[in-house]
């Protein structure tokens, strides 16, 4: 791409990095107004002029969603703000949000070529400018190009990952429904980030784009309780589901006193203020009792949000208690600087050991122990080591824990066959696919903890994977179980002796037989494993009827079911094969995962599945 900036590189490096106007610290201490007002047009163009227009734009590689940074900055230099917005939205559905809360200093700006000798280009603030300009000058319906007429897709959770996935799928023409457990859309963007960093007005205008794209939204809908994943797919006809429910279950310190009145999680604290308006009680119905002295435990962005919120709510002393030093803090440096300007007191190398209460069960103090730093731990940061005999008490009336979150287990517990990791996260592959066909997941639900931009990357990847899946799924819908099943007439009757069933399996070289009752209906399944365990291990008579050893928990599908239905059924019941029955319930065959894979081997997904099943078969034969 040719350069468009008339300035020579030597002239560009002489331009200082631009800084937007900010509210004064005194004003910020009592106000939830946004701290930064962002660039005006002249500042944005001047800052864009600092870009060196590198041929190998390493900043793009540093962006999790691969925004065309070089391209949109070139459009800014030419004052073509609409073109800049179009370039960003090719890969980023939420530019005004990312420009405010994305940690650019550790991503695109960290690798900026200008930053090697000078201050990096303010990519994040330029992105925010473009997002804000677009909101003022282009109504959302002007950005809509694709009609919604494809299959139905459910997106569960309206945080950054869910919003991104919904927007991408809607642009591809799918009929998308966005489910949110709370009464307002936005997820962590609404309840977790204070308005002085991300105003609700900015979030609401991005949500209007989803309306323009035709995305249906359902709030107060808790998937797993209001309806399960299976019910959404089987009864409401959703062909695919993207799970983006985040990590809303807080982690606590595990110290005495966490059940006292006045001890709460940052998740609860911020939700009460940001979503339920506790800062405007009694105008709103949500109360919040806050002490004169507040301690927030943690060193991340959530901890900074909580302690700065406490300061705005009137805390005379707002302490941030962190067990490592300033250098190890994961929070953004800009937010740390703002907190100190607002009067937040940062207490480093202190680790809480107990929360103390008074006779009424309310917090009266926090016992802390001084720490020193030892060798690095698994996170790469130096491990805090307690200093013996250094315990002391801080006089506080509120203690807020901001030590991270983990996924809520409702969806995992109500979705059979969904693989889950040790920490409650949903297991996914590189394409955000879960162990359930048609079910995808991303963001905090699969990562355990992620930034807004990483959740957006997962949502974008999932949308592409869902599109590929549904294109392949059309073939599975067109083929029925009777087209690929292994037809069989060999069955056992419940009254047949065990030795006869064993001979039939041996003669036909099969490892199982369906069992039918007197009316010819399938009532169970007998396998060589059943015979080995029940007959040999328990020394049963070979003349006993097969009904005494068969597995009654038989899983069936109808011969008129599609391959997609059979595949989902296998995943839900954790079986690799199903007995196929006709409309009357009589056995007409058996279908296995291998049968479906062979029928679908022309697609990439089918080839991979076929190879896996073949390897399993070879491995099983070798063990035998």
pLDDT, tens digit, 9 for 90 and up, residues 532-564? 666 555 555 667 787 877 877 777 888 888 887
Residue 1 located in a structural domain: no
**Position 4 confidence tier, pLDDT thresholds 50, 70, 90:** confident
71-112 per-position pLDDT tens digit: 999 999 999 999 999 999 999 999 999 999 999 999 999 999
For tokens 């998740």, name the residue. Answer: 267
Q: How do 152-156 and 175-179 pair as beta strands? A: parallel
pTM here is: 0.79
Q: Extract the tokens encoding 12.
A: 């560009």
Same domain, 132 and 58: yes
Q: Do 264 and 244 lie in a common domain?
A: no
Answer yes or no: are the C-beta atoms of 483 and 599 closer than 8 Å: yes
| Percent of the residues in the chain that have a pLDDT greater than 90, as a whole number | 63
**Quick one: which of 621, 616, 580, 581 has its CA closest to 597?**
616
Whether 612 shows a pLDDT value over 60: the answer reads no
Three-class SS state of 563:
helix
437 domain residue, yes or no: yes
Better-predicted residue by pLDDT, 459 or 145: 459
Predicted pLDDT at 554: 73
392, β-bridge pairs: 368
295, two tokens: 């301690």
**Sole residue written with tokens 């056995």:** 587
> What is the pLDDT confidence band of residue 63, given thresholds at 50, 70 and 90?
very high
Q: What are 441's strand-pairing partners?
A: 243
The answer to whether the beta carbons of residues 271 and 294 sit under 8 Å apart is no
Range of 367's domain?
Answer: 251-404
Q: What is the CA radius of gyration of the chain?
A: 30
pLDDT at 606 over 60: no
For residues 255 and 367, state if they share a domain.
yes
Could you report the per-residue pLDDT of 418-457, keeping only the tens digit for each? 999 988 999 999 999 999 989 999 999 999 877 899 999 9
Please name the residue that has the structure tokens 């997941």: 441
The pairing of beta strand 392-394 with beta strand 405-406: unpaired
What's the average model confidence in pLDDT over 561-583?
Answer: 81
Query: pLDDT tens digit string along 162-217?
Result: 999 999 999 999 999 999 999 999 999 999 999 999 999 999 999 998 988 899 99
Clarify whether residues 302 and 319 are in a common domain. yes
How is residue 227 written in tokens? 């309806």
**CA dist., res. 574 & res. 584, Å (int):** 25
The phi, psi pair for 386, rounded to 5°, reads -65, 145
The per-residue pLDDT for 149 is 67
- Distance CA(165)–CA(456), nearest Å, equals 8
Give the long-range contacts of residues 413-419, CB within 8 A, separation 24 or more: 413/224, 414/224, 414/225, 414/228, 414/229, 415/224, 415/228, 415/229, 415/230, 415/439, 416/230, 416/572, 416/573, 416/574, 417/571, 417/572, 417/573, 417/574, 418/229
* pLDDT reading at 398 higher than 80: yes
Whether 3 maps to a domain, the answer reads no
Looking at the structure, tell me whether residues 25 and 117 fall in a common domain: yes
Q: What's the rounded Cα separation, in Å, for the pair 22 and 191? A: 24
- The residue among 549 and 591 whose pLDDT is bigger is 591
Query: From the CB of residue 485, how many other CB atoms can be counted at a distance below 10 Å?
Result: 24
Closest CA to 26 of 412, 312, 299: 312
Of 457 and 476, more confident: 457
User: Which residue in 119, 75, 68 sits closest to 95, CA to CA?
Assistant: 68
Alpha carbon distance 343, 285 (integer Å): 29
Q: What tokens appear for 165 in the block? A: 């996935």
Question: H or E segment at 56?
Answer: none
> Rounded to 5 degrees, what are φ and ψ at 422?
-65, -30
CATH number, domain at 545? 3.10.580.10
Kindly report the CATH number assigned to the domain that includes residue 161: 3.50.50.60
Q: Are residues 277 and 397 in the same domain?
A: yes
In eight-state DSSP terms, residue 15 is S
What pLDDT does residue 534 have?
Answer: 60
Q: Indicate whether 397 and 256 sit together in one domain.
A: yes
Report pLDDT digits (tens) over 215-246.
999 999 999 999 999 999 999 999 999 999 99
Per-residue pLDDT tens over the stretch 515-532? 888 888 888 878 777 676
C-beta separation of 593 from 586 below 8 A: no
Q: What is the DSSP string of 317-368?
A: EEEEEESS-GGG--S-HHHHHHHHHTTPEEEESEEEEEEEE-TTSBEEEEEE
Residue 145 pLDDT: 58
Under the banding of pLDDT at 50, 70 and 90, the label for residue 566 is: confident
Residue finishing a domain among 404, 439, 461: 404
On whether the CB atoms of residues 509 and 594 are closer than 8 A, the answer is no
As a whole number of angstroms, the distance between CA 483 and CA 229 comes to 28
Q: What distance in Å separates the CA atoms of residue 167 and residue 457, rounded to the nearest whole number?
A: 13
Residues 272 and 400 in one domain: yes
Q: How far apart are CA 566 and CA 593, in angstroms?
A: 9
What is the number of H-type helices and E-type strands within the chain?
24, 23
Using CA atoms, how far apart are residues 148 and 79, in angstroms rounded to an integer?
Answer: 33
* More confident call, 223 vs 507: 223
Of the given ranges (180-189, 402-411, 491-500, 601-610), which has the lowest mean pLDDT?
Answer: 601-610
* Integer CA distances (angstroms), 132 to 37, 51, 109, 144, 530, in order: 11, 21, 20, 18, 67
Contact (CB, 8 A) for 121 and 51: yes
Instruction: Give a yes or no: residue 528 inside a domain.
Output: yes
Give the residues across from 347 on adjacent strands.
321
**Residue 4 covered by a domain:** no
Determine, yes or no, domain membership for 440.
yes
Report the pLDDT value the prediction gives residue 45, as an integer from 0 to 100.
Answer: 97
Same domain, 256 and 384: yes
Residues 371 and 417 grouped into a single domain: no
Residue 2 lies in a domain: no
Question: Within this chain, do residues 514 and 470 fall inside the same structural domain, yes or no?
Answer: no
Q: Is 235 a domain residue?
A: yes
DSSP state of 17: P
**Percent of the chain residues topping a pLDDT of 70:** 91
Q: What pLDDT is stored for residue 602 in this prediction?
A: 46
> Which domain-ending residue is among 361, 384, 404?
404
Mean residue pLDDT across the chain: 88
E runs forming strands in 87-174: 152-156
Is the pLDDT reported for residue 604 higher than 80? no
Q: How far apart are the C-alpha atoms of 84 and 77, rounded to whole Å?
A: 10
What pLDDT band is residue 624 in, cutting at 50, 70 and 90? Answer: very low
Quick one: pLDDT at residue 621? 44
Domain end, chosen from 477, 511, 535, is at: 477
Average pLDDT over residues 40-48: 97
Domain count, the chain: 4
Nearest to 172 by CA among 437, 463, 456, 459: 463
Enter the DSSP assignment of 22: B
| Length in residues, the chain | 624
Residue 404: exposure state from Cβ atoms within 10 A (0-12, 13-18, ≥19):
middle
Residues 421, 373, single domain; the answer is no
DSSP assigned state of 535: I
């Amino acid at each position: 791409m040719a350069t468009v900036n008339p300035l020579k590189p030597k002239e560009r490096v002489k331009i200082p990095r631009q800084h937007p106007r900010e509210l004064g610290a005194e004003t910020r201490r009592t106000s939830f107004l946004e701290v930064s007002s962002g660039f005006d047009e002249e500042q944005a163009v001047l800052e864009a002029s600092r870009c060196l227009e590198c041929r190998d734009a390493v900043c793009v590689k540093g962006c999790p969603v691969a925004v065309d940074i070089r391209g949109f900055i070139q459009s800014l230099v030419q004052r073509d703000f609409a073109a800049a917005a179009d370039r960003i939205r090719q890969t980023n559905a939420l530019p005004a949000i990312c420009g405010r809360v994305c940690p650019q200093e550790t991503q695109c700006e960290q690798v900026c070529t200008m930053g090697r000798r000078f201050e990096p280009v303010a990519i994040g603030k330029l992105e925010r400018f473009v997002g804000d300009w677009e909101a003022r000058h282009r109504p959302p319906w002007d950005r809509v190009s694709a009609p919604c007429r494809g299959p139905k897709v459910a997106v569960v959770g309206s945080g950054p990952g869910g919003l991104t996935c919904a927007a991408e799928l809607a642009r591809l023409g799918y009929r998308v429904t966005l489910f949110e457990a709370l009464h307002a859309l936005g997820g962590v963007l609404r309840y977790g980030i204070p308005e002085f960093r991300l105003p609700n007005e900015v979030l609401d205008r991005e949500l209007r784009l989803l309306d323009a794209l035709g995305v249906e939204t359902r709030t107060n809908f808790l998937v797993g309780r209001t309806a399960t994943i299976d019910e959404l797919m089987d009864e409401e006809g959703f062909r695919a589901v993207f799970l983006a429910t985040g990590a809303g279950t807080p982690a606590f310190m595990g110290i005495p006193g966490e059940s006292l009145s006045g001890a709460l999680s940052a998740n609860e604290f911020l939700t009460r203020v940001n979503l339920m308006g506790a800062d405007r009680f009694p105008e709103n119905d949500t109360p919040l009792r806050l002490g004169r002295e507040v301690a927030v435990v943690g060193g991340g962005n959530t901890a900074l949000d909580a302690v700065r919120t406490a300061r705005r709510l009137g805390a005379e002393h707002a302490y941030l208690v962190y067990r490592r030093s300033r250098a190890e803090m994961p929070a953004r440096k800009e937010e740390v600087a703002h907190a100190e300007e607002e009067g937040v007191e940062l207490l480093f190398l202190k680790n809480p050991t107990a929360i103390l209460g008074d006779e009424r069960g309310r917090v009266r103090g926090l016992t802390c122990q001084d720490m020193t730093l030892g060798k690095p731990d698994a996170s790469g940061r130096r491990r805090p080591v307690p200093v013996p005999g250094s315990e002391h008490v801080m006089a506080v009336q509120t203690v807020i824990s901001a030590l991270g979150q983990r996924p809520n287990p409702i969806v995992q517990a109500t979705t059979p066959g969904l693989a889950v990791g040790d920490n409650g996260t949903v297991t996914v592959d590189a394409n955000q696919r879960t162990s359930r066909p048609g079910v995808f997941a991303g963001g905090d639900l699969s990562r355990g903890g992620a930034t807004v931009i990483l959740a957006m990357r997962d949502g974008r990847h999932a949308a592409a994977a869902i599109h590929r899946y549904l294109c392949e799924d059309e073939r599975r819908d067109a083929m029925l179980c009777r087209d690929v099943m292994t037809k069989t007439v060999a069955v056992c009757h419940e009254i047949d002796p065990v030795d006869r069933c064993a001979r039939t399996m041996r003669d036909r070289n099969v490892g199982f037989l369906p069992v039918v009752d007197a009316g010819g209906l399938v009532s169970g399944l007998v396998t060589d494993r059943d015979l080995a365990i029940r007959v040999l291990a328990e020394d049963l008579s070979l003349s006993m009827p097969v009904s005494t050893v068969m597995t009654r928990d038989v899983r069936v599908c109808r011969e008129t079911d599609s391959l997609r239905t059979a595949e989902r059924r296998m995943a839900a019941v954790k079986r690799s094969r199903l007995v196929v029955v006709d409309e009357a319930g009589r056995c007409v065959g058996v279908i296995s995962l291998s049968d479906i894979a062979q029928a679908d081997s022309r697609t990439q997904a089918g080839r991979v599945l076929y190879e896996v099943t073949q390897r399993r078969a070879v491995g099983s034969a070798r063990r035998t």
